[in-house]
């Protein structure tokens, strides 16, 4: 992907649009008005002030003709969002990396209803790091270790570690105890996630998802599980734990979907990215980062029968 001709501003990347092949609009400005009808007046102001540009950085005007397949960049005004009331703890920082302990309920990157209330935007603003970029992602409902690069030049080296599965990941989850199962065990299945469908599901076919599961402690009717994903499918750990009949406590998708209010923080998913280990691609040193967080449900275990 070509580099954006506009820099990060106030922690946010510019919006990137590709003009449709068969556009019926005479000008780019007309297209933008149709694309953002509720924001047409504000878009017009941005065009007038030269804030909307094409791929080579040239600002458009109201009369700039429509160009199929051209890329257009502009800054959208972020929506007003209630603050997610949890802080991001910094575990490590150097010239290449920022490693943080992400809280539950905070998205990794801007998406959907969470734009400014995402880890990347918060950290860019708070630490004045406009080039900050995540090397991998954690679901909004998952807490724990998140690795980001500080400089654009370092980004690819660390992303390749994850792409080539050279990172050892360890998660922690709280679910019901399962004395009927023999641990450790390995789950191997095929997981698919369809666009627009909330749940991922297991289907027949070649294996694309592998998770090793072990029990580290049991207290009454609950257990603390160590999860080691060897692959990285969407919702893999949640799907695999559910397939064992052990849905993770606080999971509003598995086994059944139920609504949770956007500002309801009362029942976090009891899943934590506990640690990440890899050989640093720049220094060559073995590196390990460990979360300092604890899962609340472990302290609320119900005593078993006497």
167-210 per-position pLDDT tens digit: 999 999 999 999 999 999 999 999 999 999 999 999 999 999 99
Best CA proximity match to 230, nearest among 198, 284, 191: 191
The Cα 207–Cα 245 span in angstroms is 20
Residue 184, preceding peptide bond in cis (omega within 30° of 0): yes
Rounded to two decimals, the pTM is 0.90
Task: Enumerate long-range contacts of 147-150, CB under 8 Å, 24 or more apart.
Answer: 147/97, 147/98, 147/99, 147/276, 147/289, 148/97, 148/98, 148/99, 148/100, 148/120, 148/123, 149/96, 149/97, 149/98, 150/93, 150/94, 150/95, 150/96, 150/97, 150/98
Rounded to 5°, angle at Cα 258 from 222 and 171:
40
Q: In the chain, what is the greatest distance between 2 CA atoms, to the nearest angstrom?
A: 80
Helix (H) or strand (E) holding 298: none
Q: Could you tell me the two tokens for 204? A: 């027949």
What pLDDT was estimated at residue 53?
97
Asked if 265 and 210 count as a contact pair (C-beta separation under 8 A), the reply is: no
Give the chain's domains with CATH numbers: 15-74 (3.10.290.10), 89-300 (3.30.2350.10)
Residue 279's pLDDT band (boundaries 50, 70, 90)? Answer: very high
Task: Let me know: does 73 contact 6? Beta carbons within 8 Å.
Answer: yes
Task: Specify the DSSP element, H or E, that contains 162.
Answer: helix 152-163
Q: Mind listing the pLDDT tens digit for each residue in 82-139?
A: 999 999 999 999 999 999 999 999 999 998 889 999 999 999 999 999 999 999 999 9
Confidence of residue 1 (pLDDT cuts 50, 70, 90): low
Tokens of 285: 């040193």
Residue 70: what pLDDT? Answer: 96
Distance CA 207, CA 191 (A): 8
Distance from C-alpha of 153 to C-alpha of 164, rounded to nearest angstrom: 19
Residues involved in catalysis: 139
Q: Can you tell me the mean pLDDT for 42-68? A: 96
210/295 Cα distance (integer angstroms):
24
Q: What is the DSSP letter of 33?
A: H
* 78 confidence band (pLDDT: 50, 70, 90): confident
């Amino acid at each position: 992907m070509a580099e954006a001709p506009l820099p990060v501003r106030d922690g946010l990347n510019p919006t990137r649009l590709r003009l449709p092949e068969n556009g019926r609009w005479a000008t780019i400005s007309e297209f933008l008005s149709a694309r953002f009808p509720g924001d047409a007046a504000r878009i017009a102001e941005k065009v007038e002030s030269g804030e909307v540009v094409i791929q080579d950085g040239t600002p458009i005007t109201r009369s700039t003709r429509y160009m199929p397949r051209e890329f257009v960049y502009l800054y959208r005004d972020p929506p007003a969002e209630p603050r997610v009331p949890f802080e991001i703890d910094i575990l490590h920082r150097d010239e290449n990396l920022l490693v943080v302990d992400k809280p539950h309920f905070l998205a990794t990157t801007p998406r959907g209803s969470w734009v400014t209330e995402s880890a990347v935007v918060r950290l860019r603003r708070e630490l004045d790091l406009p080039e900050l970029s995540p090397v991998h992602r954690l679901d909004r409902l998952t807490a724990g270790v998140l690795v980001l690069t500080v400089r654009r030049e370092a980004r690819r080296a660390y992303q390749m570690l994850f792409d080539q599965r050279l990172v050892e990941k360890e998660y922690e989850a709280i679910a019901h105890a399962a004395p009927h199962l023999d641990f450790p065990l390995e789950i191997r299945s095929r997981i698919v996630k369809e666009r627009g469908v909330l749940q991922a599901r297991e289907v027949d076919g070649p294996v694309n998802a592998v998770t090793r599961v072990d029990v580290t402690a049991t207290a009454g009717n609950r257990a603390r599980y160590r999860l080691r994903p060897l692959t990285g499918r969407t919702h893999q750990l949640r799907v695999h734990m559910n397939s064992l009949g052990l849905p993770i406590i606080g999971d509003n998708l598995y086994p059944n979907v139920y609504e949770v209010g956007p500002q309801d923080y009362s029942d976090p998913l009891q899943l934590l990215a506990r640690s990440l280990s890899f050989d640093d691609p720049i220094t060559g040193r073995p590196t390990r980062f460990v979360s300092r967080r604890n899962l609340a449900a472990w302290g609320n275990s119900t005593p078993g029968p006497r």
